[in-house]
Structure 1
């Protein structure tokens, strides 16, 4: 997938981020940029530090060292709420809506939380628009606990979008979905990006990474192993050894060759 024209100033910039838990260095010296209109994938084996990185970006964790900038502003020491109000949204892998509240009410809460001073009427109107955008409007009055897994995932994205983010963090939103459902989720992320939101997502499913990501950051043992386009990183010997394996690398290498030849 070809990258959009990047602005000169990244929307999100991580500089030498590190996080230590006691004697364990979970993330070490992570640096990357996310630009306007871009979809950036973070991949790597289990235990590579991907979710810890997302927790650092969203403000759930504070880094031991390093700096994070959002739209040129230092947000390293800001809370999750403060980062959210500045335009950083997150959808979690394990979806935890308010189960007894309706789908519409769940998204309305996100709209009220995202921007201070939003009236209930405005928040409900914004929530309804997002239900239509995510394909959930037919389920607006249904309690959230009655949704299917795919609908749960859509609700999680809708709630995150309700905060009006400029940058959206997605933690394995395809997990547990069937292939057809994953393709629906891919199309939803594309529409999010087309609507002006830059996306950073963690994913294990390589065809999803191939189809969605403009660039890919590969992590291993808490560090960045490689950065580049999908076609570039799947050919990296270190990535093959640490994550893909020789059999899988030959398969994704053929995919990358086809995609590169097609001009994607």
Structure 2
């Protein structure tokens, strides 16, 4: 499938969709995330980057409800969801696609997405969920594979299925955990186009990524973490020119901007 070019939608400075205030997470003597604060706006694609062990995945787990914070607050669409479960956050408009894709392997691609639609907003009927699943398979380029068992898909198709399942829950904010991992360059560009199309549909996206050209091409803003803390925030150009980011992340400006 040929990657499609999408224009980024304008970032609204009026509506805050996600607000982390002083989020910290301690595991015994390890402070994995320390006093992380950031804001995400409606329609924005926000990247979180940093070296291995910086606390990025722990932060994503705090946002999605896998972990409860040791301290700090999280607001989703103006609602304090700090103490709420993953399911409650999903119903409130927060979706997540995981790096390691685990579909129901013996179910069809369409059935996998239908399950996501039933799990999301309350009151969705089975016919409505099936219809929404077909629509999302069209949008994510999987319509031709709707009746295949999920275990028959390629890695790129698996990634698309993971995004489709997350979108089926009808999120306002979508969390993506290294969805480009393992993809060839051409496949990564297709995935970039898919994320752009998600943004174009009105969904705000927060993603973790190590592939810097992907961050450059996708992110409206970038949050940089190191040792559990936010050390910089701004546009891609701004953070890659920050000496602290260069020293903490890849060590050279040339490497960071590759």
Give the TM-score range, shorter chain.
over 0.9
Match of 1:205 in 2: 211
- Cα 1:101–1:2 change in 2 (3 A) is closer
CA contact (8 A) 2:8 2:200 kept: no
- Cα 1:2–1:123 change in 2 (3 A) is closer
TM-score by length of 1: 0.93
| CA displacement, residues 60-108 of structure 1 (integer Å, 9 cap, x when unaligned) | 1000000000011100001000000010000000000000000000000
1:118 deviates by 1.0
Runs of 4+ with >6 A deviation: none
Match of 1:242 in 2: 248
Residue correspondences, number: 252
Match of 1:82 in 2: 88
**Separation in structure 2 between the aligned mates of residue 231 and residue 210 of structure 1, nearest angstrom:** 8
**Separation in structure 1 between the aligned mates of residue 10 and residue 24 of structure 2, nearest angstrom:** 29
Match of 1:225 in 2: 231
**Separation in structure 2 between the aligned mates of residue 2 and residue 239 of structure 1, nearest angstrom:** 26
| CA displacement, residues 209-244 of structure 1 (integer Å, 9 cap, x when unaligned) | 000000000000000010000000001111110102
Match of 1:73 in 2: 79
Determine which of 57, 74, 86 is the counterpart of 1:51. 57
Match of 1:184 in 2: 190
CA RMSD of aligned residues (A): 1.3
CA contact (8 A) 1:89 1:165 kept: yes
Determine which of 142, 145, 169 is the counterpart of 2:151. 145
Specify the SS of the correspondent of 1:41: strand
Please say if 1:17 is aligned against 2:28. Answer: no
CA contact (8 A) 2:48 2:206 kept: yes
Q: For structure 1, which runs of at least 5 residues remain unmatched after alignment?
A: 256-264
- Cα 1:87–1:2 change in 2 (3 A) is closer
- Cα 1:250–1:163 change in 2 (3 A) is same
**Separation in structure 2 between the aligned mates of residue 231 and residue 91 of structure 1, nearest angstrom:** 27
1:117 deviates by 1.8
- Cα 1:21–1:6 change in 2 (3 A) is same
Specify the SS of the correspondent of 1:96: coil
Determine which of 120, 128, 131 is the counterpart of 2:126. 120
TM-score by length of 2: 0.95
Match of 2:162 in 1: 156
| CA displacement, residues 21-72 of structure 1 (integer Å, 9 cap, x when unaligned) | 0110000000000100100000000000000000000001000000000011
Please say if 1:97 is aligned against 2:88. Answer: no
Determine which of 35, 44, 54 is the counterpart of 1:29. 35
1:251 deviates by 5.4
CA contact (8 A) 1:15 1:68 kept: yes
